[in-house]
A = this chain, B = another copy of it.
């Protein structure tokens, strides 16, 4: 089964810029993440402009939907910022594509010690190949239907509604 990975940014892919002294975006880490994970399943990696999800506009979410629609793969994992993961999942859910789409991200950047990024990415890749068509959010080791999840900003985790 071919799996499409769509990188859209978020905390997962943040990069420490040592000249500016802050976290920002540079090249996506997904190529090296896929390689060190030793994935032999066929992977199509698509890198959209990397954005903090608080900066995403309707046009950005539409672009994610377009990528999903045009994908020949039925199983898709989207790496996305956690703050508006729900909003993008809603756009995708409403489109009701004949695909299994799993949106995930990270609370701590892949490049930072003790990150949840790699666990979440693995979790989402497994879920995308196992569940029937639909749109899901996968965070904190849990699977949520796109319309039954919210981010608890104070606790820093996703919860069912």
Identify which of B21, B119, B156 contacts A11 (C-beta below 8 A): B21
Which residues of chain B are near A112, meaning CB under 8 Å? 16, 111-113
Report the separation of the CA atoms of residues A22 and B120 in the bound assembly, to the nearest whole angstrom. 20
Docked-complex contact A141 and B23, CB < 8 angstroms = no
Docked-complex contact B115 and A126, CB < 8 angstroms = no
Docked-complex contact A41 and B111, CB < 8 angstroms = no
Chain A positions 101-116 with a Cβ under 8 Å from a chain B Cβ: 107-109, 111-116
How many copies are assembled? 4
> Nearest Cβ in chain B — how far from A54, in angstroms?
9
Check A118/B122 contact, CB under 8 A, given A23-B23, A38-B140, A130-B127. yes
Interface SS of chain A: mixed
Say if the beta carbon of A123 comes within 8 Å of chain B: yes
A residues neighboring B (CB under 8 Å) = 3, 11, 16, 18-19, 21-23, 33, 36-41, 43, 83, 107-109, 111-116, 118-127, 129-131, 138, 140-143, 153-154, 156-159
Report the separation of the CA atoms of residues A43 and B141 in the bound assembly, to the nearest whole angstrom. 10
Docked-complex contact B116 and A113, CB < 8 angstroms = no
Report the separation of the CA atoms of residues A40 and B101 in the bound assembly, to the nearest whole angstrom. 21
Docked-complex contact A108 and B11, CB < 8 angstroms = no
Docked-complex contact B114 and A36, CB < 8 angstroms = yes
Report the separation of the CA atoms of residues A138 and B126 in the bound assembly, to the nearest whole angstrom. 8
